[in-house]
Amino acid sequence: MNHPSPRPAADNEFLAQVRIPLQAVIAGLALVGGLVGVVGGTPQHIASSLPLSLLILALAGMIWLIAAWREAVGVWAVLAGLTLTVLLLRFWLPWEGALVLLAIPATLGLVLLGDRAGLTVTGFCTLLIGGLYAAAQGYLALGSDVLATERLPTQEVLLALAVVWLVALVYWASLRSIVQLADWAWHHYLGAQGTLDEMRTNRAQLHQTLDDLAHANRQLDLMNRRLAAAQMAAEEAHKTKAAFVANVSHEFRTPLNMIIGLSDLLVEAPHVYGAPLPVELLEDLEIVRRNTQHLLAMVNDVLDLSQIEANRLALHRELVGLAEVVERAAGVVRPLLDKKTVALLLEMPSDLPAVYCDSNRVRQVLVNLLSNAARHTEQGSVCVQVRHDDHSLTVCVRDTGPGIAAEDAAHIFEPFYRGTFGARRNENGSGLGLSISRQFIEMHNGRMWLESRLGEGSAFFFSLPITAIAMPNDGAERWILEEWQWHERLQPTQLGQNLVKPRVVICDANPDLYDAFHRFNDQTEYMRVETLAGVAEAVAEFPVQTLILNDASPRLLLTTLAEAHQKWPDLPVIGCSLPPRLGHALAAGASGQLLKPITRAELASVISQIGPATVLVVDDDADTRRLFSRMLLAIDENLRVVTAADGQGALAQMRTEEPDLVLLDVMLPDMDGWQVLAAKAEDDDLRPIPVYLLSAQDPSNEPLSSQILIAAAGERTPFYKFLRCAQVIPLILGQPDVD
């Protein structure tokens, strides 16, 4: 810390603190005057000294007035008064040796005025003594006895001079050390005072910081509480969203079941209605069925998109010719454009390279962009342009519609945003299409953007990365030419991303685990076998990196894993115990489960396995019961179909009719399908009747889970691998589960 340097007037400030008060000196002078009046005590003496006493008192009073008027002048008046008093005492009374008292004004001069002025007073006193002595010698030479030598002896003069200068020297010597000490003390005092001020400032800042910290802590606590509340709200919203998706899927699948079922009957079995249908009607029905199938695919995609946040939506990428994808997407939208007499143009070069992508997702993006263009374009054309370079392939969907305003273009890819133009047109739609499309493109490491101006149409672009495979510079004939010389290749060969994939064998009697792996990881080649014998064939056929064993019984899993590890000790084996997705339905007593919309082929497959004569259809919707009745009769006109509208009616029908097969809807008004199965299981007569559940909720969307995870490696696994597993596995297992 840098202390402030002492001020130049430190000595004077210090001396000002140690100086005798001027009023005290004046009071002392008055006291001397009073004492002079009473010295001796006799009346004769008092009478002779009284005038001198009064004179000294008057002098003290006059000096007091001068000091009150101006203190600086009063100091010199005090010194002059003291000097005059000493001279009066010496020559009026007379007091022999009184000149020695001149040391008093000399000393007071040093004390009251400082070094320079004090030395001046001391010099004046010296001159005064010398002058008096010289005058005395002069008067003596003239024969006058006013200042005779006997009245001013030489010894007194010398003594007075000695005392005056001795006192001055002693005072000066002592004052120097005191001044140095004062200087040191003043310097450190200033430093301490600066430190104290700084400490006070820091203390004030510290108190302010503590107050701010306490306030921030209160705010943080409040924010934590709000965050906890927001987290609870988010979790509740997540549950609400899941319930919403499930309900919406059920509401979508139920009417789609009707549309697809009736379309299939009209197209594939028109004889059910007793008369042939016109060709034009069949063509229109085929369009309805095709678009309904597309709508069903969209419903399934929405269910998949609800799992994007959980990173459970995978891309099934492969090398795809984009021209075919564009033509298929254009075929979906072409009927709508033909009705509007809007031209659909496809501009694609013949040398388009294959793109490593998910063709279904890219087709969905194209259908969405083309549908938007067709919906907003009343005249002109809709054009799909495909261009490519060495690194990417760019697709542009351009229309001659009204265009998009700049304020809408800035938010067009946000979820649920439809724009002011769409709001004015009262168009249907959730506003998710463009947001979902951009997500699909970004999952391919591509990007999507928009170029549009009002009145000039719109152009949506998206680009996909491509990986070119470099071909050898020289032909194969170089291997057979005698003059061929080896040349180092300057450009390394680049391989496609999907040329080599690790192979994993899944040994599982149930296909659920294989379907899940194949669905959510397209970077690995999976092969499913049902027994260890199939594993042996797979291992002998091609290299296998990992073997995954699954068995619903943990005890059998351990036995199978030990047997597999004994047969292939160097093959990593992972064991788990995952029950089948239909395990809940099978455990409740059902024979299987059908997902709405249910096609005639699926019903035919079930009937072919069971071969029933009487089928009970249980559904609370009359149109659905009628649809299934017609579909069953279209499959086999000899079937006997009975129906029930609720769970109690279904149990009563089973006790009365004893059907060979029950098609049971899960959602019923009085009791759901699970309760019907439970009641059926308690009745010994009804328990053998096979039941297939009809549900709009896909059991494949339910996450697979296992309480057991076992890994077996080589006979001698190095410790560093074990250490790495011990570090990574707890981190993975410790993460919170995402539904």
pTM of the model as a whole = 0.44
The region of weakest confidence among 353-362, 421-430, 444-453 is 421-430
pLDDT confidence of residue 385? 92
pLDDT confidence of residue 497? 46
Q: Where are the CATH 3.30.565.10 domain residues in the chain? A: 318-465
Show the DSSP H helices in 481-546 as ranges.
512-520, 532-541
pLDDT confidence of residue 131? 80
Query: What whole-number distance in Å separates Cα of residue 209 and Cα of residue 12?
Result: 42
Q: What is the largest CA-CA distance in the chain?
A: 181
Query: How confident is residue 396, by pLDDT bands cut at 50, 70 and 90?
Result: very high
**Does 119 or 448 have the greater pLDDT score?**
448
pLDDT confidence of residue 199? 92
575-594 average pLDDT score: 74
- The DSSP letter of residue 421 is H
Instruction: For the chain, give the percent of residues with pLDDT over 90.
Output: 4
pLDDT confidence of residue 425? 45
DSSP lists the bridge partners of residue 475 as none
Tell whether the model's pLDDT for residue 145 goes beyond 70.
no
Could you write out the three-class secondary structure of 547-578?
Answer: EEEECCCHHHHHHHHHHHHHHCCCCCEEEECC
Tell whether the model's pLDDT for residue 486 goes beyond 70.
no
The region of weakest confidence among 70-74, 389-393, 413-417, 489-493 is 489-493
Query: How confident is residue 383, by pLDDT bands cut at 50, 70 and 90?
Result: very high
pLDDT confidence of residue 321? 87
Query: How confident is residue 538, by pLDDT bands cut at 50, 70 and 90?
Result: confident
Six-digit token pair at 23?
Answer: 């009023």
Burial class, 242, CB count within 10 angstroms (exposed 0-12 / middle 13-18 / buried 19+): middle
Please report where in the chains the tokens 């701010």 appear, as a residue: 212
**Does 52 or 497 have the greater pLDDT score?**
52
Helix (H) or strand (E) holding 709: strand 709-712
Please give the class, per CATH, of domain 583-701: alpha beta
Phi and psi at residue 491, to the nearest 5°: -120, 115
Of 560, 573, 684, 667, whose CA–CA distance to 620 is shortest?
667
Q: How does pLDDT run across 499-508, given as a tens digit for each residue?
A: 467 888 989 8
Show the DSSP H helices in 274-343 as ranges.
279-305, 322-340
Of 139, 35, 134, whose CA–CA distance to 93 is shortest?
35
pLDDT confidence of residue 21? 76
The Cα-based distances of 450 to 148, 345, 412, 438 in angstroms read: 127, 19, 9, 11
Please report where in the chains the tokens 């005639």 appear, as a residue: 600
pLDDT confidence of residue 302? 65
Tell whether the model's pLDDT for residue 342 goes beyond 90.
no
The region of weakest confidence among 228-232, 406-410, 415-419, 594-598 is 415-419
**Does 687 or 393 have the greater pLDDT score?**
393
Tell whether the model's pLDDT for residue 40 goes beyond 70.
no
518-533 average pLDDT score: 80
Q: What is the mean pLDDT of the chain?
A: 77
Buried b (16+ CB within 10 A) or exposed e, 295-307: ebebbbbbbebbb
Of 619, 594, 615, 611, whose CA–CA distance to 676 is shortest?
619
* Contact residues for 668 (Cβ-Cβ < 8 A; gap 6+): 618, 619, 620, 646, 647, 650, 676
Six-digit token pair at 453?
Answer: 């101006």
Write down the CATH superfamily of domain 318-465: Histidine kinase-like ATPase, C-terminal domain (3.30.565.10)
86-106 average pLDDT score: 79
Of 426, 425, 408, whose CA–CA distance to 417 is shortest?
408
Of 271, 266, 295, 262, whose CA–CA distance to 282 is shortest?
266
Query: How confident is residue 472, by pLDDT bands cut at 50, 70 and 90?
Result: very low
Q: Where are the CATH 3.40.50.2300 domain residues in the chain? A: 503-578+708-733, 583-701
pLDDT confidence of residue 696? 67
pLDDT confidence of residue 249? 62
pLDDT confidence of residue 418? 64
Other C-beta atoms closer than 10 Å to the C-beta of 472 total 10
Tell whether the model's pLDDT for residue 736 goes beyond 80.
no
Q: How does pLDDT run across 348-369, given as a tens digit for each residue?
A: 888 888 888 888 889 989 988 9
CB-based contact 687:680 (threshold 8 Å): yes
Helix (H) or strand (E) holding 413: none
Query: What whole-number distance in Å separates Cα of residue 264 and Cα of residue 259?
Result: 8
Phi and psi at residue 483, to the nearest 5°: -85, 10
Q: Domain spanning 503-578+708-733 has what CATH number?
A: 3.40.50.2300
